[in-house]
Chains A and B, each alone.
Chain A
Amino acid sequence: MTSKKSSVNPFRFTFLRTCSRNWLVPLGVFLLTGYAFFVCGFVDAKRNYNRNLTDGSVAYYLANHKFQLSDNNWGGLGFVIDLLLIAASVVLAISIFRYMFSKKSVNVYYSLGMKRGEMFLSKYLAGAFLLTVSVVIPMLADVIGNITIFGSSKELWISAIYMTVCVVQMMLYAYSVTVLVCCCVGTILEAGFFGLVFIASPIIAEYLVSVLFKTVLYGSPYGGGFDYSTMIYGQGHYRPPVSFTALQNNILFFASGRFSKYHELQRGIEEVPYNFKNPQLLPVLVMLAVIVAVAFASYVFYKKRKNEIAGFLGSNPVITGIGIFTISAFLFAFISRHIVYLDHSNRYLAFLLAFGMIFVVYTVIQIISLRSIKLFFKKFRFITVHFALMAALIAVFVTGLFGYSTRIPDKSEIEKIAVSTGTGDIFYNNASSYSTVHSFVDSYYQGITVDAGVKAEQNTLYLIDGYDSPEEVEHILDIHRRLIEMKDDDFSPEARRKSFGERKVLSATRIIYTLKDGSTFDRLYTCSDDETNRLLSQLTRTENYKKGAAEELSWYFGFKEVTFENDEYSEYGYLLGDYEISVPADEILVSIASPNYSSLKTAPSLNTKESFRELYDALASDILSGRLPLDFNTDSPVKGYIQLSSYNESYFDKPKEMTESWHTNNVIISIGDANIVIPVYESMTDTLAVIEKHGCTSLFENAKEPVAVETWKYGEKALDPYGSIKTTLIQGVYLNNEGKIDEFSTYYSSFDENGEKLNMVAPKLAPDAVETDNPIQIKKYSDAFRMMTLDCFDGYYVRLIFEDGSCVYGYAPMTLVE
């Protein structure tokens, strides 16, 4: 017998064989990335180039583009492509390592003359190689195509390498995690299922902590859904510190549009330099470290694998346990946040919810994996481990995160404080319809950003910064102490329906201390009481507030352009690209309303840039002189209102005409996304002088007087007075010919008599509201009628009903009615 002698290299042989037998998935990846890069990049650029060629503007096109490697969001399929690439990585991992799940194949592969570690590495590297190649080739073709159009540039290569590395890393992360799970479990079913769960685990962990920060941690500003405004721009949308982990995860920052800078480089005007900044290396390095760590762990587990588990479900109780906990945590967080609306007032419900989720997930997964009810009950005691872990985690947050909820900086540490009045002022008025944690607003013109597929709320809470005098600091510290003392108070609907002064209210207060060491100390409270709100309202009488208010007002007049710190935002990955907010003066509309709002007309002579300046100066002067009570706390008769609206042709065809004819047609009282209503009192001499000078005084006259009035006292019955009704009245109301309020996109929530939550679109007075046509009563409420009032004061909701059936909603402060 003769034999063919040969030298074998099992490592190389296994590597090549794995590549040759697993080409289908990489081919799919190749086609996907071919579309994402080559088609959305070079092919699209070539199309644009040819289009420009035909109209002769090719020189302009070339002069203003440095490259185009892809489009903004991979042709609008970015998220889908991400998911498909991750799914492909999972499938490839399972395909390569599937021999571990069958006793038959285990017998063959583990008897081969290779060390286990070598076998693992050859197979793992083959998969990684396939994934890498299937991304690199399309990108290389894309780069070469770009060079043929735009020429080579450093920016092109940096962007191409960065994007390639990030896409490859995303897939390698998913691939490696799945391989790790494959090494620990006995069946394909578990490998696929737990692989996906483990891939999502960093996202779930971040989400869980965010939700706990938001829902049950008293005083936490993180994830509170509040921006705070112009005086301290740039620190707007807060996320818990754990978000850092998300930022370093390519899966997550993919979704946040991190590539928006690098997919193409263009400029609007030829003379303007290209705005290109090198991508950050830290996330890439962190992700690389994570992938290497996961791969190493897989290597170790592969070497130690007990082959007897092949083909057996539930053979690794640790993996099953982590999977159960992760899924339970996600369901708990999701349901807490989006279905049960957990908050501090019902924080103990968190335990019940979490245990419920654990019970359900544990039962389902264990019954499937054990496939024996008897065994399930025998092992049921292990559910207590899940209960204990989850309870410990929730308890940490519910009890105040190791003193986080009760800590107040020492007076000597404080340099200055920013605080929202939280109670109602001209700025708060602008956006306070979202003032409680119970307001889940989805207003279409609010900036909605996406972070890892989680919708981020972006509501606005206005803070005035710069309180630094000892009196102001002490006053704010007092308020802060009061808010902390309320930590364990009852904020149930019943508690909020008590009489004025005894009730609890849902209103947002944010306090940010800038400490002398440069750090900030930030807290947000969404519960309060009348006395605390009264103390807060006193801040509006300080010089600091008046100064801040006057400065803030300039933004509404278009004198101040507010620009987000682009880099800061994009670094955190919450905003899809760079943008700025500014209100061009020619888009501002100045209107004047009568005291009962039966007349609201544009003031043409005030709608010029010069008259804006005059009007602003006059208002600023009145504010700074204390002639405009910013908390509306005055007995002085109101002369009428100045309304500033920013309108946009894309929203409304003929806003001016609509505004002028509001009382006869279906009209919008306020238009656009930047409106403010400023009451004008008789004491505001400077403002009244400017209005007089421009011949607009007559616009303060009511067009008609009410023939009936309907009133309803705050907080007594069905509707919660702090359910944002106040500003809804001002901000977005359609009135039709029948005087009914049509739906508008501003939602608010409140509670009915049973404590059931109501999400509503327009204010409705309760069924037990009192309607009268008694002339004395009509006069009483008409005289007291205000379009805005302060939350912390007592009073009535009022509906003025006119003869033609139209009506206006407003308020009558108790002090004025009495």
Chain B
Amino acid sequence: MIEIKGVTKKFGSFTAIENLSLKVGNGSVYGLVGYNGAGKTTLLKTIMGIYKADEGSITVDGVETFDSPDIKKKMFFAPDDLYFEPYSTINKMAKFYSGYYPEFSFETLEKLCKVFGLDKDKRINSFSKGMQRQAELILAISSKPEIILFDENFDGLDPAKRNLFNKMIIEYVAETDSSVIISSHNLHELTDICDHIGLINGKRIVLDCSVDDISASRCKFRLVFADEKTEEDFKDIPYKKFNKDGRIITLSMAVDAEEGEEILRKLNPLMIEKFPQTLEEIFLDEMEGSDYDFKEIFG
């Protein structure tokens, strides 16, 4: 169990994350979503002990992660910025990691290299970017950690390889009861693999729930009225997002579909349609102030 409580990290006068809290349970794949620069990487590095939190605590099974070798031996951080020793091969990097990860499995490495078609004796710097990412992910899994932090590692992977890795991670988590945090600004990458989603915005987690729960608790409605309605008419409705196109109103609500329909019926629409919300729509709904009116900007 990873538990983050009230963590703040500042870079000089700039605050990257502020009073951020979340929990990631065992056997869970946690998707950390947020815009570029939202603080996802900072959070992962702080969890890993690369950065020291200015405030708050980060524990794994109740033990602080910062400068704690026993915990860090069970954690693997796969950063967005790939680093391999100069002139190294997968084999050499495996030897490097095996010096620090007691459970490192060369057998797993061998098998994964075959699956992904990587030559483990070839210099990594001769690999393509996608292949280097694969090498990184293979090394991460071969280290057999109980916690893996992936920082936007699926960029540059072709759909087939991404799918393969998704399966591999799901299988690994299921088999080892480990915890995985995957950060991304791309929800599509996460919907197939994560069971939990954390949305980071404005230096804080603004949404933290299981994928199943969030889908059930969000709904989008399309309404048609006899007369023209304004946003003012919906002031008593707890909507998340409001959109008007003539007499057609589209809005999303953080309630289940039945409850939402019941509320909206009170406004006497001519027609009411309900749709489940995608994760991406929920993500956009939660981004406060990010729905720019470009007409205003360029007009």
Taking beta carbons and an 8 Å cutoff, which residues of A are in contact with B?
Answer: 1-8, 10, 13-14, 17, 102-108, 110-116, 118, 303, 306-308
CB proximity to A under 8 Å, residues B12-55? 45, 48-52
With A3-B144, A13-B100, A17-B99 known to touch, is A111 a contact of B49 (CB < 8 Å)?
Answer: yes
CB proximity to A under 8 Å, residues B78-130? 79, 81-83, 96, 98-108
In the complex, A307 Cα to B79 Cα: how many Å? 14
In the complex, A369 Cα to B48 Cα: how many Å? 30
A-B contact pairs, 21 of them (CB 8 A): A3-B105, A4-B104, A4-B106, A7-B102, A13-B100, A104-B82, A106-B50, A107-B45, A108-B83, A111-B76, A112-B72, A113-B69, A113-B70, A113-B72, A113-B74, A113-B75, A115-B67, A115-B68, A303-B67, A307-B51, A308-B51
A residues less than 8 Å from B107 (CB atoms): 1-4
A residues less than 8 Å from B105 (CB atoms): 1-4
Q: Are B99 and A107 in contact (CB under 8 A)?
A: no
In the complex, A105 Cα to B102 Cα: how many Å? 21
Contact of B69 among A5, A7, A114 (CB under 8 A): A114
B residues less than 8 Å from A17 (CB atoms): 96, 99
In the complex, A307 Cα to B73 Cα: how many Å? 20
Q: Are B49 and A5 in contact (CB under 8 A)?
A: no
Q: Are B175 and A1 in contact (CB under 8 A)?
A: yes
A residues less than 8 Å from B76 (CB atoms): 111
With A102-B83, A107-B83, A111-B72 known to touch, is A6 a contact of B104 (CB < 8 Å)?
Answer: yes
Q: Are B108 and A105 in contact (CB under 8 A)?
A: no
Residue of A at shortest CB range from B16? A308
Taking beta carbons and an 8 Å cutoff, which residues of B are in contact with A?
Answer: 11, 45, 48-52, 67-77, 79, 81-83, 96, 98-108, 144, 175
Q: How far is the CB of B87 from chain A (nearest CB, A)?
A: 10
A residues less than 8 Å from B106 (CB atoms): 4
A residues less than 8 Å from B73 (CB atoms): 113
In the complex, A1 Cα to B76 Cα: how many Å? 19
Q: Top 6 nearest A-B pairs by Cβ distance?
A: A113-B73, A13-B99, A3-B105, A104-B83, A107-B79, A111-B77
Q: Are A113 and B101 in contact (CB under 8 A)?
A: yes
A residues less than 8 Å from B81 (CB atoms): 103-104, 107
B residues less than 8 Å from A118 (CB atoms): 69
A residues less than 8 Å from B70 (CB atoms): 113
Q: Are A308 and B98 in contact (CB under 8 A)?
A: no
B residues less than 8 Å from A105 (CB atoms): 83
B residues less than 8 Å from A306 (CB atoms): 51-52
B residues less than 8 Å from A6 (CB atoms): 98, 102, 104
18 further A-B pairs in the complex, CB-CB below 8 A; given A4-B105, A8-B101, A114-B69: A1-B175, A3-B108, A4-B107, A8-B99, A17-B96, A104-B79, A106-B50, A108-B83, A111-B48, A111-B49, A112-B100, A113-B69, A113-B72, A113-B100, A115-B69, A303-B67, A307-B45, A308-B11
Contact of A8 among B71, B98, B175 (CB under 8 A): B98
Q: Are A3 and B103 in contact (CB under 8 A)?
A: yes
In the complex, A113 Cα to B83 Cα: how many Å? 17
B residues less than 8 Å from A1 (CB atoms): 105, 107-108, 175
Q: How far is the CB of A117 from chain B (nearest CB, A)?
A: 8
B residues less than 8 Å from A10 (CB atoms): 69, 99-100
Residue of A at shortest CB range from B86? A21
In the complex, A102 Cα to B83 Cα: how many Å? 10
Contact of A111 among B11, B75, B108, B144 (CB under 8 A): B75
Residue of B at shortest CB range from A16? B99
Q: How far is the CB of A781 from chain B (nearest CB, A)?
A: 80
Q: How far is the CB of B28 from chain A (nearest CB, A)?
A: 20
In the complex, A460 Cα to B228 Cα: how many Å? 109
In the complex, A682 Cα to B270 Cα: how many Å? 143
B residues less than 8 Å from A103 (CB atoms): 81
Q: Are B50 and A111 in contact (CB under 8 A)?
A: yes
A residues less than 8 Å from B82 (CB atoms): 104
Q: How far is the CB of A318 from chain B (nearest CB, A)?
A: 15
Q: How far is the CB of B148 from chain A (nearest CB, A)?
A: 11
In the complex, A2 Cα to B144 Cα: how many Å? 11
In the complex, A17 Cα to B73 Cα: how many Å? 18
In the complex, A106 Cα to B51 Cα: how many Å? 10
In the complex, A3 Cα to B76 Cα: how many Å? 17
In the complex, A766 Cα to B111 Cα: how many Å? 97
Residue of A at shortest CB range from B12? A308
B residues less than 8 Å from A303 (CB atoms): 67
B residues less than 8 Å from A5 (CB atoms): 102-103
In the complex, A7 Cα to B102 Cα: how many Å? 5
In the complex, A13 Cα to B67 Cα: how many Å? 18
In the complex, A236 Cα to B234 Cα: how many Å? 99
Residue of B at shortest CB range from A116? B67
A residues less than 8 Å from B101 (CB atoms): 8, 113
B residues less than 8 Å from A114 (CB atoms): 69, 72, 100
Q: How far is the CB of B46 from chain A (nearest CB, A)?
A: 10
Residue of B at shortest CB range from A2? B107
B residues less than 8 Å from A3 (CB atoms): 103-105, 107-108, 144
Residue of A at shortest CB range from B74? A113
In the complex, A14 Cα to B97 Cα: how many Å? 11
B residues less than 8 Å from A106 (CB atoms): 50
In the complex, A14 Cα to B48 Cα: how many Å? 20
Residue of A at shortest CB range from B76? A111
In the complex, A107 Cα to B175 Cα: how many Å? 27
Q: How far is the CB of B60 from chain A (nearest CB, A)?
A: 12
B residues less than 8 Å from A4 (CB atoms): 104-107
In the complex, A788 Cα to B99 Cα: how many Å? 84
A residues less than 8 Å from B108 (CB atoms): 1, 3
Q: Are A307 and B102 in contact (CB under 8 A)?
A: no
A residues less than 8 Å from B100 (CB atoms): 8, 10, 13, 112-114
B residues less than 8 Å from A107 (CB atoms): 45, 50, 77, 79, 81, 83
A residues less than 8 Å from B52 (CB atoms): 306
Residue of A at shortest CB range from B105? A3
Q: How far is the CB of A302 from chain B (nearest CB, A)?
A: 11
Q: How far is the CB of A214 from chain B (nearest CB, A)?
A: 44
Residue of B at shortest CB range from A21? B85
Residue of A at shortest CB range from B95? A17
In the complex, A624 Cα to B45 Cα: how many Å? 89
In the complex, A107 Cα to B76 Cα: how many Å? 10
Q: How far is the CB of A103 from chain B (nearest CB, A)?
A: 6
Q: How far is the CB of B222 from chain A (nearest CB, A)?
A: 46
Q: Are B50 and A110 in contact (CB under 8 A)?
A: yes
Looking at B48, B68, B96, B102, which has the most chain A CB atoms within 10 Å of its CB?
B102
In the complex, A274 Cα to B11 Cα: how many Å? 66
Residue of B at shortest CB range from A104? B83
In the complex, A66 Cα to B65 Cα: how many Å? 61
Q: How far is the CB of B65 from chain A (nearest CB, A)?
A: 10
Q: How far is the CB of A807 from chain B (nearest CB, A)?
A: 76
Looking at A5, A307, A308, which has the most chain B CB atoms within 10 Å of its CB?
A308
In the complex, A1 Cα to B83 Cα: how many Å? 27
In the complex, A800 Cα to B70 Cα: how many Å? 96
In the complex, A108 Cα to B106 Cα: how many Å? 19
Residue of B at shortest CB range from A108? B83
In the complex, A103 Cα to B77 Cα: how many Å? 13
Q: How far is the CB of B11 from chain A (nearest CB, A)?
A: 5
In the complex, A7 Cα to B104 Cα: how many Å? 10
Looking at B69, B98, B103, which has the most chain A CB atoms within 10 Å of its CB?
B69
Residue of B at shortest CB range from A17? B99
Q: How far is the CB of B66 from chain A (nearest CB, A)?
A: 9
Q: How far is the CB of A102 from chain B (nearest CB, A)?
A: 7
Residue of A at shortest CB range from B80? A107
In the complex, A307 Cα to B42 Cα: how many Å? 11
In the complex, A8 Cα to B108 Cα: how many Å? 18
Q: How far is the CB of B223 from chain A (nearest CB, A)?
A: 49
Residue of A at shortest CB range from B141? A1
A residues less than 8 Å from B99 (CB atoms): 8, 10, 13-14, 17
Residue of B at shortest CB range from A117? B67
In the complex, A480 Cα to B108 Cα: how many Å? 89
In the complex, A306 Cα to B9 Cα: how many Å? 11
B residues less than 8 Å from A116 (CB atoms): 67
In the complex, A5 Cα to B51 Cα: how many Å? 30
